[in-house]
Chain A
Amino acid sequence: MDVPLIELSGVQKSFGPVSVLKGVDLQAFPGRVTALVGDNGAGKSTLIKGLAGVQPYDAGVVRFDGEEVALHTPRDASRLGIEVVYQDLALCDNLDIVQNMFLGREETGFGTFDEGLMEREASETLRSLSVRTVKSVRQKVSSLSGGQRQTVAIARAVLKKARLVILDEPTAALGVAQTEQVLQLVKRLAEQGVAVIIISHNLADVFEVADHVSVLYLGQMVASLEVAETTRDEVVGYITGTRSQGGRAA
């Protein structure tokens, strides 16, 4: 297998006395979809918030393109081309869809916003996600439904060419058709050479899109499996802790 785009080794994170990540290893490869699964509270969101620079790790090494990098702020992550769709979406209700999608990376000309350009790019990206129910890209996010908000958050992550896209339960609030769209998008991103990490509780989705599954159990990576070589029952076993990895590391 080729070089991983991102490689975590021995990553740790605690909140006060509570140790949430106890030395986690994780890899993601360009052009491949890695699913990160685990029970509620296993530490999945904490793991990816460290990757996003939002909640830096306490210890451990992060390598990007084989080089050790420091991820202390969200800017560090976005500079490397890491885009994240957070579980809690992280949108500003008082801003409209375009403003949210471009937040922190607005297009300017003559020192002021080029609203037309941003509007067009936002519109095109949303269309590529086959968004149909949003009436206007200038709608305030507060007026959107849960699924529409999730779509906006995803659109924000794929707006600019990213090298690593991380989606934390991106389909949790979506209907059947929209979920299918997002899974198609994940595949398309991988085809374009993007490394994708997707967190999901829906194993059917995981088996549909992922090449690789990493299972987190109580802050420890208990299994790392090729999707082609595993079964649903095996993954469930690791998630619930009734199974532990013997010798089947990838």
Chain B
Amino acid sequence: MTTGEAERTNASPDPIAGDLIGSGVEGGVGDQVRAWLQRVRGGEMGALPAVGGFIVLSVMFSVLSPFFLTERNFANLMTQAATLVMLGMALVFVILLGEIDLSAGVTAGVTMCIFIVLVNVQGFNWIAALAVAFIAGIAIGAFIGFFVARVGIPSFVVTLGLFLGLQGFELIIIGSGGLYRVQIPEILAIQNSNLPVWGGWAMLVVVLAVSAGTSFWDRARRTRAGVPNRAIALVWIKLGVIAALGGIAVYILNQDRGQSVKAVQGVPIVVPIVLVILWLGTFVLDRTRYGRYIYAIGGNAEAARRAGIKVVLIRWTAFIVCSTLSVVAGLFMISKVGSVDAAAGRDLVLSGVAAAVVGGVSLFGGRGRLLHAAIGALVIAVITNGLGLLNLPAGVNYAVTGGVLILAATVDAVSRHRAGGAILRT
């Protein structure tokens, strides 16, 4: 049906909107749900398997252990997961590029070794020591980034080298068998103190306000540009889901979970910290050039280069972001554990990678979100937590986590294959 097409003589758009191209936002809630289901069938599953896994595992452990569904264990799960959530989110920045940082866990460990030795042995002010720890984290990221982005060594080789090297460094700093207790109240508070009861509700209100605010801001902007918006009902549904799930979580965490007369209640302080970092990181990845270019490089680095993107610089800085966020994960870790030894962070990294991959962040690069890694981390944390309640030997935990990682990577590869089917069908 090309009659009359040849008569067009200029490149400006045809004012007759006879064949408007859609925006993918047309139709009501039903159409959007169908479009989403179609994408899922096409291999874009996102965090869906992880959410499913989380529910199945939770039901399973609730049946197997009477302690799983207690307020105490729920709060415990949050704080156990926090370190992994942070590390998983840190890793997303490099995994999106199709790279990996196997040293992220020991980066968390070694920077905390530096931190604790400076405070406990050298008598540093803890804030100054923390600054040094962050500088060390940035330096590690810059080191990895240099060798990967500038020299061109595969990232798994560089970071595997650092995984070993930094463990040696930990041993040198701490000494074999050495152990330092964390005695800084502010650091301990992150994982061991809670918001007041009203604070938890206030947090939820802020989350809802920010979510509603960005949704309506985006809609206003699209309207100004003259393009259609999704059905407004979807915004209300999203806010409703956040309110319901968040409300249940805050309500449970606000119950007294103490074992003695003194009440222990409230949302652990680490939760709002994680939410802020999650929001900031998502903002950067979704709405700024830096984030968009990370996805572009992960999808097709040569196309990104031809589009004028400074590929080397972005690869390099992504490793710095990863290492810096790993330091935050380290802080969560020592706050929870209460001490630092020479093996700090050694077991962390594979769980961190597993968190990202289980959550639906593709190891092939270019696909995934920070929220996915956070959900994946919750799945890994549920496994660790649940198996712990069942008093199974620690070995079982390693085996199950490893198995879940391979399973998730398989789902990743298969769904990538399905999404790629369209490319081959030219």
Contact = CB atoms under 8 A, between A and B. Distances in A.
B426 interface: yes
A95 to B, nearest CB: 6
B391 interface: no
A74 B306 contact: yes
A99 to B, nearest CB: 7
A1 interface: no
A234 to B, nearest CB: 29
B23 A137 contact: yes
Contact of A120 (B24, B226, B366, B419): B226
A116 B12 contact: no
A134 B221 contact: no
Contacts of A3: none
A189 B11 contact: yes
Contacts of B303: 90-92, 103
Most A C-beta atoms less than 10 A away, residue of B22, B24, B223, B308: B308
Nearest to B224: A116
Given A120-B225, A127-B21, A143 B14 contact: no
A181 interface: yes
Interface in A139-165: 139-140, 142-147, 158
A106 B21 contact: no
A248 interface: no
Contacts of A144: 422
Interface in A190-229: 191-192
B288 A131 contact: no
Nearest to B287: A112
Interface in A50-102: 52, 54, 73-75, 78, 84, 86, 90-95, 99
Contact of A184 (B8, B288, B426): B8
Contact of B21 (A84, A95, A134): A134
B307 A74 contact: yes
B422 A127 contact: no
A84 B308 CA distance: 12
Contacts of A246: none
A116 B308 contact: no
B419 A142 contact: yes
B153 to A, nearest CB: 22
A220 B84 CA distance: 60
B6 A137 contact: no
Nearest to A125: B13
A103 B309 CA distance: 8
B11 A92 contact: no
Interface stretch (B63-71, B86-94, B167-175, B294-302): B294-302
Most B C-beta atoms less than 10 A away, residue of A104, A139, A146, A181: A104
A188 B367 contact: no
B222 interface: yes
Contacts of A86: 306
A95 B291 CA distance: 12
B218 A94 contact: no
Contacts of A91: 300, 303
Interface string B247-275: 00000000000000000000000000000
A136 B426 contact: no
B305 interface: yes
B301 to A, nearest CB: 9
A119 interface: yes
A137 B21 contact: yes
Contacts of A109: 221
A143 B292 contact: no
Interface in A118-134: 119-120, 123-128, 130-132, 134
B20 A123 contact: yes
Contacts of A113: 287-288, 292
Contacts of B300: 90-93
A134 B1 CA distance: 15
A240 B6 CA distance: 34
B227 interface: yes
Interface in B15-50: 19-25, 42, 44
A24 interface: no
Nearest to B26: A136
Nearest to A177: B2
Nearest to B300: A92
A104 B307 contact: yes
Contact of B296 (A92, A114, A136): A92
B366 A94 contact: yes
A104 to B, nearest CB: 3
A138 B425 CA distance: 20
A142 B416 CA distance: 10
Contacts of A73: 308
Contacts of A138: 22-25
B426 A52 contact: no
A111 interface: yes
Given A52-B306, A116-B224, A189-B11, A181 B5 contact: yes
Nearest to B296: A92
Interface in B357-412: 365-367
A98 to B, nearest CB: 9
B304 A92 contact: yes
Contacts of B306: 52, 54, 74, 84, 86, 90
A173 interface: yes
A113 B19 CA distance: 26
B225 A119 contact: yes
Contact of A127 (B14, B224, B225, B289): B14
The 7 closest A-B pairs by CB, nearest first: A116-B225, A146-B426, A104-B307, A92-B299, A94-B366, A94-B299, A116-B222
28 contacts: A74-B305, A74-B307, A78-B308, A90-B300, A92-B299, A92-B303, A93-B299, A93-B366, A93-B423, A99-B292, A103-B307, A115-B218, A119-B23, A119-B225, A119-B227, A120-B225, A120-B227, A123-B227, A128-B13, A135-B24, A136-B24, A138-B24, A142-B419, A142-B420, A145-B425, A173-B426, A181-B2, A191-B9
Given A90-B307, A113-B292, A138-B24, 15 more contacts: A74-B308, A75-B308, A103-B296, A104-B304, A104-B308, A104-B309, A106-B289, A116-B227, A128-B13, A136-B22, A142-B419, A143-B419, A158-B11, A184-B5, A188-B11
